[in-house]
Structure 1
Amino acid sequence: MKRIFRLVVASGMLLSGSCNNYYDIDKDPITYGQTYFKPVINTDKAVYKPGEKITFTAAISDNNLSVAYTYLGEMIKEEPLSQLSWTWTPPTTDFRGYMVYLFKTGDTTKKPLYSIAVDISSDWRKFPRYGFVSNYDRLDQQAIQRNVETLNRFHINGIQFYDWQMDQHKPLAGSVSSPADSWLDLIGRTNYKSTVDGYIQAAHDKGMKAMFYNLLYGALSNAASDGVSEQWYLFKDNQHQEKDRHPLNAPFRSNIYLVDPGNSAWQTYINKRHQDVFAVYNFDGYHIDQLGDRGKLYDYTGKEVKLEQRYGSFIAASKKAFPGKYHVMNAVNQYGQESGIASSAVDFLYAEVWDPNKSYDELVKIIQDNDRFGNYNKNTVLAAYMNYAKSNQAGFVNEPGVLLTNAVIFANGGAHLEMGEHYLTNEYFANNNLQLKGTTKEKLIQYYDFMVAYQNVLRDGGTAAVFSVTGTNALTISNGKARSGSITSYGRHFANRDVIHLINFKDANTMEWRDTNGTQQEPSRIDGLQIKLDVTRTVKRVWLASPDMQGGVAIPLTKAQTGNKLTIDLPGLKYWDMVVIEY
């Protein structure tokens, strides 16, 4: 939340309540607008425990279909469908992703028609896929259910409840014995308990976790009357004359004043406030936010405070107070990540990305740094706001920019916080100026299916590697570095396989991942692609999967190996191909 609230209140879309025209439908006769998309296949949950039965539904009239269940390109089972709602109990192995697809019965090629991924994981922290909600107006259950169903189709397994609370220092409105039915949030919106409760229950019904959001050190102007001591604050001077504050103009109700998160009295105070939250709301954990590097700061006694070194004790105190709750903390532009957050009790790593981390390479570096900071035991979610400048006004998200950035993040083992009631393009999560076209929703779903189906080779161990990949037909391949006008390769090495990702920057007009003005170009598909690389063992099998091809279903590839030289023929490259070499 570093830049916090570059508000665009002039737009009628920004702070609206539930959308009355959800399907972008005009008058009779009904016509579906540009934002409409209805997935063909759905599952009843976002994630399943080992041994749990999965229920699928397909919105299609064809009654001559079969279903195939696959794991990393290998067929597990196939069977004809007698109806368009069916169940499957997958193998009991924990932490696996599967690709499930439909094909025409009798088609010997088993050409995929529709596909969906399934995540079998007993613990969401292994493969976090974070989403959000940000509007707590008086929503009916149908609106809540619709939003959560959308997140379910993206396999979101954890939801951040952004700005759900009343005051930062006193998040619960009312009391434990008499919680308020409604309250004003920081910007003056009316939030409703029924909506917060409704979202929590709907999330739990889909197997998702619900995380309440709050700063770790925020106090509003009324904090003294709520028991916040003057001696807990952070100051810009060593004479405790000027409190550090984050200035907020109207319609915000108050500036945010910063207290020392390492102060034990503050920790006791805010943990009691959070205890009240957990007593009233069935949240699963705490999403901890910060404001980034604040410069030189002092405590009340005049002692200089190294803010990033105070985060670890705050997290430890919160985890001690709530050992059964999940904890995630935002490292704003990595501030505090290495010095205390990553090694603390947080359950996965989360970073909000700002300048000067502009390039695709810098996104990769953040993910790889986090792997190291977390001792290779914690995966990363990036809050990386796309089309940031464009989000000042109403419009549509630029599809090529989003798909290229997701390809880079996913190929390197990260996840992207972007899906909520709307697509996220701003640090003020309620900003919904930019919408997803239906065609973009469809492609994004394919990318999330891909991330889930192949999570065991994307973000489940292995070692990042740079392979020396060359291309034919005068194609330039840049290994490990994203370069305009070329194909970029990223690699991961496992004991019995190597994974090579190819991302198409051949037509890219910017190498800044944010695509802030929404002008990134769609890449032209490259056909007849052949790659060569050195290997040290005999290759048993090579296969390809791409979110841009055959619904992400694996495709066997032809190969030729002469000694240590391996040549592979690919069917084509649009945005992102993943090539898996098995030994």
Structure 2
Amino acid sequence: MRTKKAIAYFCMLLMLAQTGTIGYGWAGTASAAAAAADTPPEHRITKMVPSKARFAPGESAELLLTLDQSADWSGKLHLQIYQLNNLVAEGVKDLTVQKDGSAGLKVDWTPPTADFKGYMAKAWIEGAAADDYVTAAVDVSSDWTHFPRYGYVADFPKETAEESDAKLQELSQEYYLNAYQFYDWMWRHDVSVYSKTDKNGKPLLDANGRFITAPVDENSSYTDLLGRLLYPLTVKQSVSAAQKYGSAAMAYEMNYAARENYQDFGVKPEWGLYNKTATESRTPQKDQVGFNFDGVKPHPTALYLQDPGNPQWQSYITQQYVRAINDYGFDGIHLDQWGTNDNDYLLGHDGTKRYYAKDFDKIINATKDAIKANNANKSHVTFNMVGGNKGYSAVPNPNTKTDFDYSEIWQDQDKYKDLQQVVNETREADGGKAMVIAGYMNYKQAAGVQYNGSEAKAVPPLVLDKDTILDFGHLNDTVSFDVDVPQSGETSLIYTYSNGGTGTSRAVYIDGTRAADLNGEPARIYFSPTDNSSSYSQDGYFIVPHLNAGKHRVTLKMDEESGNGSVNIRGLTLGYFNEPSLRLMDAGLAALGATHIEIGTAENFEEGPNMLAHEYYPNRSKKLLESTKETMKEYYKFSAAYENLLFDSKADLTASVEVEAGGGRLATSSSGAQDTIWTTVRKNRSNAGFERYDVLHLINLLNNDDNWRNAANEPVLQNNLKVTYDIGISKEAAPNLKVYAASPDTHHGMPEELRYTWNGTRLTIDLPSLKYWTMIYIDKADSAGDTASAGPSHLSSFAMLANDKSYFDVAPSHWAYQAITSLTAKHVINGMTDTTFVPSAKVTRAQFAALLARALHLQSTGQAPFQDVKAGAWYSSGVAAAYEAGIIAGRGAGKFAPNAAITRQEMAVMLAKALERADGGGAASGRELTFRDRGHIAAWALPAVQSVIGTGLMAGQADGRFAPAQTATRAEAAQAIANLLNKTAN
């Protein structure tokens, strides 16, 4: 048997259900050797997730377990997989885990071949406490639009493929998101794919009159409609990453918009929509309906509306959608609009009234036909019915070629009953397509950690009127708040203010020092005018790029650049989403059979994920607390595991539920009324395979109002409830009836069986507790001739194989093969993709510093003192750890140059210091170098080069040179670090 560095085969016995098989494989280096005497960790399994958000029928489903390896321990792993209350597979395996090894275990399971099915997996170590287990959902579906769990990607900064991959991996595996809307990714709204232009910005065309796609590399960039700098390579990387983890990438497109200068790009004024008051001589500049963005730098931008019913516009724009799919790999098109209804009209270029909402089906169908003809596997389409379905008779229709329905809900529909009406009416009209709701939580509300005006510091000569600071508008006036930041990272400062005059601004200081904004410029917060001085806004916010958790003083100062205008300040809020409102909203939508787009990537992985606070998706005026992120993971897992009961069932609006507690009846409602328990009954008469289940949803609104958007109170826990429901059959008709409760709030989503009593056709069910949301499901079993699924039926033998990683471009004959495979197995280094390593690619200074920190298990206690190493950058902790260990230094002027390619002599210096730090033995610093270019080695690097050559950490080139100024490759970096680990016996 081999040691930690070895690859080993293990035989195992598995108990299997008739419909499934399970196999185990290490993603690292645990072994079956005898355990040491260390005290085992309290929670030996810390996490379990699927490798993908969605698996195709017949595909092996992988579950990835994270094990605590803070100490050596042995135990018996149990794994069970359920479909609702039916056990479909289980396995048992003896494990021995070694301290400081890899923490990854991969379990392979072949699910039943049935399509569109959700499962729940449970894993625990024998002998652990009853509540010490982890769960994960598995979604087996051939098409994600059947059960859409829709997220978004809205930031496209310059980043590596690994950074893009990490963001989408987290969201697909831990939040189960199976599709993403790529918001405002495009170059132009009329030509979304980045294309070649001449020096005047006019497009270049090929011999066939078509746009020429611009080449894309890591330095390619363009500015979008609102002046954001976007990197198209990041778009491509993110699309690929989403697909790698079983998720789709949908290209956001405005269905009827063209940018300024659209005529240069082939769009015709004759296709446009014009103001109702336009005269006969209609011109785009004067009369076409649109939006101007005059503040965009370096040049103002604009959007102009086109007629979605115009066949020529349809032909033009759908070909641009095809380009987006072909050039960037998108899986479909997400069509947006600004909102209208069937009764609203604008004028066509010829002066006729154009009721253009009635033609939305035409642009939808033209889009579907064009992209399906191009590639049937990348032809999904959805359309935003802004404000619900009522105004769009042409959209929620079975004959309209959307794959699922999508609706952005605004402030005139802020009640739970409004959501209920939108979802029920839309699904009824469209033949039962899946429904996604865009509802922006805590919208323009100062949710989070609040400080009112009476807590302000250093305010004279301002006037404090109770809780409001008045007349903050004199030169050098300051307003300060002492705040306690709950978690480190990007922090939003939201001021509740009124400003009845012109817009104004204030300089921002943190702990007495002028803060910087997200672009590194001196920080300034802008206060837009409110209706009057008595009208307060909760939407004046500023994003601090990084604040450490703990106490800080935040100060606003009126300086010479603030402009005129006085502001009244009612308070400061550290912006965080209100968790109770998120739970209640997502519970309500799931009970209605709909899902919620809300979770998306952040610009920096460490800051993510983000949540939608606004219709402009890059707005991040509120952040998620880490505890709230964990809660949302549980809710999304629940959505995937119970997808069949949640989304394929139909609401029974005639059924009722009664709830009692403490001998008294609790107030209930079927529409989410305030101070009630919101009850929803769903049936499965036409849900093949699930007909025997009735579903009761209970949502606790007893101390909350009926507004889904605003911050909510934490519900009061209700205990020992009795739930009465008329099931419509007698005990004799359902002798094997069983009742279960499942909730994302408890038991990691696992169901528990409940007791009940019969009274004719009425069941009275004992429900132990209700916090936010509990789903009761009733299995009538034999009532309609159904029988429960068979349990585990036989034993089988399988082999466990360590997760050997190989790359297509690193053959066993490659000189660095052993180093690359060894470091990959130790999770020190990764491939550029799953199958390629790209050994000849360059290595940056940040990458090599991070590799050294990872290889030597270095930890940081703070930030590195380099101006160009941003807090939150993926490499910041590695650079800080290497700096604290004395391994790295900057390039002068307080900078590290993290993205610069590392030279071989720079690598030698870092390696020599790392060797000294690791105490790997004496360095041959005095050894004479014989390289023919030894005179080119910098004096500051010469001792280090002598050291790494003398100790064997590095070698010269085949031609007798050391090549000190040559850029180091990934293969050279891997070999050098492998040599270091061997030298130090690490």
| Fold similarity call, TM over 0.5 | yes
Structure-2 change in CA distance of 1:568 and 1:283 (3 Å)? same
Kindly indicate whether residue 726 of structure 2 is the aligned counterpart of residue 534 of structure 1: yes
Q: 1:383 aligns with which of 438, 447, 469?
A: 438
CA distance in structure 2 between the partners assigned to 1:458 and 1:555 by the alignment: 17
Matched, 1:525 2:717: yes
CA distance in 1, matches of 2:665, 2:673: 13
> Any unmatched runs of 5+ in structure 1?
1-37
Q: Residue 291 of structure 1: SS of its match in structure 2?
A: coil
- Whether the 8 Å contact between 1:176 and 1:279 is mirrored in structure 2 is no
Alpha-carbon distance change, 263 to 414 in structure 1, aligned in 2, over 3 angstroms: same
Displacement of 1:535 after TM fit?
2.4
Structure 2 equivalent of residue 306 of structure 1? 355
Aligned residue for 1:102, secondary structure, equals: strand
Secondary structure class of the residue paired with 2:694:
strand
Q: Which has the larger radius of gyration?
A: 2
Partner of 1:281: 328
| 2:402 aligned partner, one-letter code | V
**One-letter amino acid matched to 1:385:** Y
Q: How far 1:342 sits from its partner (Å)?
A: 2.1
Give the counterpart letter for 1:40 in structure 2. Answer: K
Which of 129, 142, 154 is residue 175 of structure 2 equivalent to? 154
Counterpart amino acid of residue 571 in structure 1: P
Q: Distance in 2 between matches of 1:188 and 1:145?
A: 26
Structure 2 distance, partners of 1:269, 1:468, is: 52
* Aligned partner (choices 706, 717, 722) of residue 511 of structure 1: 706
User: What SS class does the counterpart of residue 125 from structure 1 fall into?
Assistant: helix
Matched with 2:52 is 45
Counterpart AA for 1:486: T
Q: 1:546 aligns with which of 731, 736, 743?
A: 743
Residues 248 and 331 in structure 2, CA contact (< 8 A), matched pair in contact too: yes
Q: Tell me, yes or no, if structure 1 residue 185 matches structure 2 residue 230.
A: no
Q: Deviations over 1:15-54 (max 9, x none)?
A: xxxxxxxxxxxxxxxxxxxxxxx97212210100112112
Matches within 5 A, 1:122-137: 122-137=142-157
The answer to whether the 8 A contact 2:651-2:680 is kept is no
State the shift of 1:565 in Å: 2.4
Alignment match of 1:118 (pick from 116, 135, 138): 138
User: How do 1:330-479 and structure 2 match up within 5 A?
Assistant: 330-334=384-388, 338-343=392-397, 344-376=400-432, 378-390=433-445, 392=539, 393=541, 395-421=575-601, 422-472=610-660, 473=662, 474-479=664-669
1:577 aligns with 2:800: no
What CA deviation, in whole Å up to 9, does each residue of 1:275-294 have, x standing for no partner? Answer: 33233111111110100018
Kept after mapping to 2: 8 A contact 1:70/1:98 = yes
Q: Percent identity?
A: 31
What corresponds to 1:480 in structure 2? 670
Q: Alpha carbons of 1:387 and 1:356: their partners in 2 closer, same or farther (altered >3 Å)? A: same
Q: Which residue of 2 aligns with 1:143?
A: 163
Measure, in 1, the Cα distance between the counterparts of 2:626 and 2:404. 31
Deviation by residue 1:456-478 (Cα, 9 ceiling, x = unmatched): 11101434334321122324242
Distance change (3 Å), C-alpha of 1:263 and 1:448: same
Moved more, 255-264 or 459-468: 459-468
User: What corresponds to 2:288 in structure 1?
Assistant: 243
Shift of 1:267: 1.0
CA RMSD of aligned residues (A): 2.0
CA contact (8 A) 1:308 1:335 kept: no
TM-score by length of 2: 0.53
CA contact 1:338–1:373 (8 Å) conserved in 2: no
Matching residue's letter, 1:115: T
Q: Give the number of aligned pairs.
A: 540
Segments of structure 2 that go 5 or more residues without pairing to the other structure are: 1-44, 96-104, 196-210, 447-538, 544-574, 602-609, 686-691, 781-986
The amino acid of 2:171's aligned partner reads L
Q: Which amino acid aligns with 1:293?
A: T
**Which deviates more from structure 2 when the two are superposed, residues 395-404 or residues 329-338?**
329-338
Give the structure 1 partner of residue 88 of structure 2.
Answer: 76
Specify the alignment match of 1:9 in structure 2.
none
Q: Who is 1:326 aligned against?
A: 380
Alpha-carbon shift at residue 259 of structure 1 (Å): 0.8
Q: 1:88 aligns with which of 109, 120, 126?
A: 109
Indicate conservation of the 8 Å contact 1:112/1:550, yes or no. no
Q: How does 1:265-280 map to 2 (within 5 A)?
A: 265-280=312-327
How far apart, in 2, do the equivalents of 1:151 and 1:145 lie?
10
Cross-structure match for 1:166: 187
Residues 488-511 of structure 1 show CA distances to partners (whole Å, capped at 9, x for unaligned) of 101101232211000000111x32
Q: CA separation in 1, counterparts of 2:86 and 2:435?
A: 28
SS at match of 2:63: strand
SS at match of 1:561: strand
CA distance in 2, matches of 1:165, 1:255: 14
Query: SS of the residue aligned with 2:236?
Result: helix
1:492-540 CA deviation, whole Å, 9 max, x = no partner? Answer: 01232211000000111x321111xx3x111111111111122221341
Q: Flag the structure with more relative contact order, 1 or 2, with Cα contacts below 8 A and sequence separation at least 6.
A: 1
* Alpha-carbon spacing, 1:475–1:439, altered in 2? closer, same or farther (3 Å): farther
1:335 Cα deviation after fit: 5.5
Q: What secondary structure is seen at the aligned counterpart in 2 of 1:310?
A: helix
The residue type paired with residue 83 of structure 2 is Y
Shift of 1:296: 3.3
1:60 is aligned to 2:67? yes
Amino acid at match of 1:329: F
The answer to whether the 8 Å contact 2:389/2:426 transfers is: no
Which of 762, 765, 788 is the equivalent residue of 1:565? 762
Q: What do the CA deviations read for 1:211-237 (whole angstroms, capped 9, x no partner)?
A: 111101101221111111111110113
Residues in 1 aligned to 2:390 and 2:622: alpha-carbon distance in whole angstroms: 31
Q: Does 1:220 align with 2:259?
A: yes
Q: Give the letter for the 1:117 counterpart.
A: A
Is 84-93 or 187-196 further displaced after alignment? Answer: 84-93
Change beyond 3 A, Cα 1:337–1:554? farther
Q: Which amino acid aligns with 2:164?
A: I
Give the Cα–Cα distance (whole angstroms) in 2 for the partners of residues 582 and 189 of structure 1: 53
Q: Distance in 2 between matches of 1:282 and 1:318?
A: 16
CA distance in 2, matches of 1:468, 1:214: 43
Q: One-letter code of the match for 1:558?
A: R
**Distance in 2, Cα, partners of 1:161 & 1:257:** 22
Which of 261, 268, 272 does residue 229 from structure 1 map onto?
A: 268
Alignment match, 1:32 = none
Paired residues of 2:49 and 2:137 also in contact (CA < 8 A) = no
On the 8 A contact 1:232/1:259 being kept in 2, the answer is: yes
Query: CA contact under 8 A between 1:470 and 1:532: conserved in structure 2?
Result: yes
1:404-444 CA distance string (max 9 Å, x none) = 00000011110100010111111111112211111111111
Q: Give TM-score scaled by structure 1 length.
A: 0.89
Specify the code of the residue in structure 1 equivalent to 2:744: P
Judging changes above 3 Å, is the alpha-carbon distance between structure 1 residues 336 and 569 closer, same or farther for their aligned structure 2 residues? closer
Question: How many angstroms apart in 1 are the aligned matches of 2:393 and 2:366?
Answer: 17
What per-residue deviation string (whole Å, max 9, x for no partner) do you get for residues 114-164 of structure 1? 111110001111111111101111012232122102211111111111000
| Cα pair 1:499 1:578 within 8 Å, conserved | yes
CA distance in 2, matches of 1:80, 1:267: 58
